[in-house]
Amino acid sequence: MGYRVAVVGATGAVGREMLKTLAERHFPIKDIAAVASGRSTGSQVSFGDTSVLTVQNLEKFDFAGWDIGLFSPGAAISAVHAPRAAAAGCLVIDNTSQFRMDPDVPLVVPEVNPHALGRIRRGIIANPNCSTIQMVVALKPLHDRFRVKRVVVATYQSVSGAGKEGMDELFVQTKAGFVNDPIRTEVFPKQIAHNCIPQIDIFMDDGSTKEEWKMAVETRKILDPDIKVIATCVRVPVFIGHAEAVHVEFERPVSVAEARAALREAPGVTVVDTREDGGYITPLDSQGEDATYVSRIRKDPTVEHGLAFWCVADNLRKGAALNAVQIAEMLVAQGLLARKAA
């Protein structure tokens, strides 16, 4: 018994991680297609330890007969091809920002709001933004017990969040810096090597960036429409792994011990917090890992019921590919794809 799975954006940072994750987790697959743009048609990507897939052109790809489409080709491309796939009967799990705030599209983090999968109206499910996913995974057990009122978060986001070209730019600029070559800036708005950039995505009218807006509106859609979020999103010269300094104000009293116990029991969360040199998780530690890590848990004495913590996850895994594959696994477990399996 298995499913026909099309990975769209298969040559990209997220798409490659999706192929890896599907293979590692032994997702029940009958047939798998790697799909990308005409630029990479005919090139090859690996699937698992032994298979190699030849990349197909999205423009010409017929989704009829395919059960699941795991999409990460960019928002403008998903806008056109995700509805086309859905109309052909292929259920789409989309990693781009295109459908996240569509009221008819569930925005799902399996550990947080699996019930949202009960309302699939357009044949599309959206995967949240990478920085939102790890934050709501950590907030969920705390919200259940102490009710989150307000979140102040500063992010430290790796260049892989901007795809393969973002990773290449950090590598090339870092090397150029050491050998005294001129530094060219194409992907990021300023030099990223040896630097931090307080801008991710475009500016909005109120002076925030779209990444900061996404963290606020997506958290409300996934967790609770009453939660207030103010974010400052910063790109840092790290290849993989996003970190966040999260400051939370609760309705109810909360102690560090209670928060730690709630986080330790929460699915998807690993607490590493020994209050000694190196007793916390960094982005480099999180690379290739599935967990959302929480460290540096402490009281915020500047508000009535406040807590501060440090949250880290691999943005390509829990922030993208793993979350999408977990959604697919949940669809299988809930029987939402069962009729198609053979």
Ligand X SMILES: NC(=O)c1ccc[n+]([C@@H]2O[C@H](COP(=O)([O-])OP(=O)(O)OC[C@H]3O[C@@H](n4cnc5c(N)ncnc54)[C@H](OP(=O)(O)O)[C@@H]3O)[C@@H](O)[C@H]2O)c1
Q: Is 37 in the site for ligand X (CB under 6 A)?
A: yes
Single residue of 161, 241, 268, 283 touching ligand X by CB under 6 A: 161
Q: What are the CA-CA distances from residue 286 to residues 110, 173, 281, 319 (Å)?
A: 20, 24, 7, 12
14 or 153: CB nearest ligand X: 14
- Per-residue burial over 147-173, b = 16 or more CB atoms within 10 Å of its CB, e = otherwise: bbbbbbbebbbbbbbbbbebbebbeeb
* Residue 234 interacts with ligand X (CB under 6 A): yes or no: no
110-149: contacts with ligand X (CB under 6 A): 130
Q: What value, to the nearest 5°, has the Cα angle with vertex 167 and ends 214 and 243?
A: 45
Residue number, nearest CB to ligand X: 12
- Contact predicate 283/312, CB 8 Å: yes
The CA angle 298-304-310, to the nearest 5 degrees, is 25
List of residues 6+ apart from 246 with CB closer than 8 A: 135, 138, 139, 151, 152, 153, 308, 309, 310, 311
Per CB under 6 A, 72 contacts ligand X: yes
- For ligand X, which is the closer residue by CB, 233 or 307? 233
Report yes or no: 272 and 292 within 8 Å, Cβ to Cβ.
Answer: no
The answer to the question of residue 60 lying near ligand X (CB under 6 A) is no
Q: Which is nearer to ligand X, 21 or 160 (CB)?
A: 160
Q: Which of 69, 163, 268, 283 binds ligand X (CB under 6 A)?
A: 163
Among 145, 147, 164, 247, binds ligand X (CB under 6 A): 164
Question: Which positions are annotated as active-site residues?
Answer: 130, 242
**CB nearer ligand X, residue 196 or residue 338:** 196
Residues that bind ligand X (CB under 6 A): 9-15, 36-37, 39-40, 58, 72-75, 77, 95-96, 130, 160-161, 163-165, 315-316, 319-320
